[in-house]
């Protein structure tokens, strides 16, 4: 990954629409501390619309992320498909950061002195938010040695009513 990747030159940007395409792999996620992402093959497409002082960035992230399975700690590939919409505003130092817009766009404030908009942190955040809360293999695909040590039997299906707290009430009207 080059230093210029994920940078949009806001000062020299021509009016109208400009398109960017980047890829984010393992090297991209290694730049961030405490990343749970082991490997990645992501494609990031960005459409930048500049009109006067307004700059809008619409991006689409798609591909696969590899993380640890929460159950067996094996590698788990998760497909990712996420979209983001940003409005870029130039502001004073106390305004740096993010806020939500009423049209569903996230507003990003950057210093007036900045010449580039760096999307690396934003792309990383959107990729992490695209991951499910519980990252586990499909039933029967976890490492059998690990699940055996945990006392989880994968070959025996769980009874239908085992996890349902209302199963005791199913026969209430049969008297």
Q: Where are the domains of the chain?
A: 7-169
Q: Is the pLDDT of residue 153 over 70?
A: no
Q: Is the pLDDT of residue 50 over 70?
A: yes
pLDDT tens sequence across 70-127? 989 999 999 999 999 999 888 764 555 555 665 778 888 888 888 899 999 999 999 9
Given this model, what pLDDT does residue 84 score? 93
Higher pLDDT, 139 or 2: 139
What is the number of other CB atoms lying within 10 angstroms of the CB of residue 74?
Answer: 13
Between CA 161 and CA 174 the distance in angstroms is 18
pTM: predicted TM-score of the whole model, two decimal places:
0.77
Q: Are 37 and 30 in contact (CB under 8 A)?
A: no
């Amino acid at each position: 990954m080059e230093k210029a990747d994920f940078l949009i030159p806001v000062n020299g940007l021509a009016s109208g629409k400009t398109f960017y395409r980047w890829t984010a792999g393992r090297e991209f996620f290694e730049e961030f501390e405490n990343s749970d992402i082991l490997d990645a093959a992501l494609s990031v497409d960005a459409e930048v619309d500049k009109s006067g002082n307004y700059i809008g960035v619409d991006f689409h992230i798609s591909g696969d992320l590899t993380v640890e399975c929460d159950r067996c700690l094996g590698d788990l590939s998760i497909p990712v498909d996420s979209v983001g919409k940003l409005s870029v505003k130039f502001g004073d130092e106390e305004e740096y950061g993010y806020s939500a817009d009423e049209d569903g766009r996230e507003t990003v404030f950057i210093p007036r002195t900045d010449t580039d908009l760096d999307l690396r942190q934003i792309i990383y955040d959107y990729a992490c938010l695209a991951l499910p809360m519980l990252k586990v293999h499909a039933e029967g695909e976890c490492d059998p040695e690990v699940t055996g040590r945990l006392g989880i039997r994968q070959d025996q299906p769980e009874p239908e009513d085992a996890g349902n707290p209302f199963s005791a009430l199913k026969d209430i009207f049969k008297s």
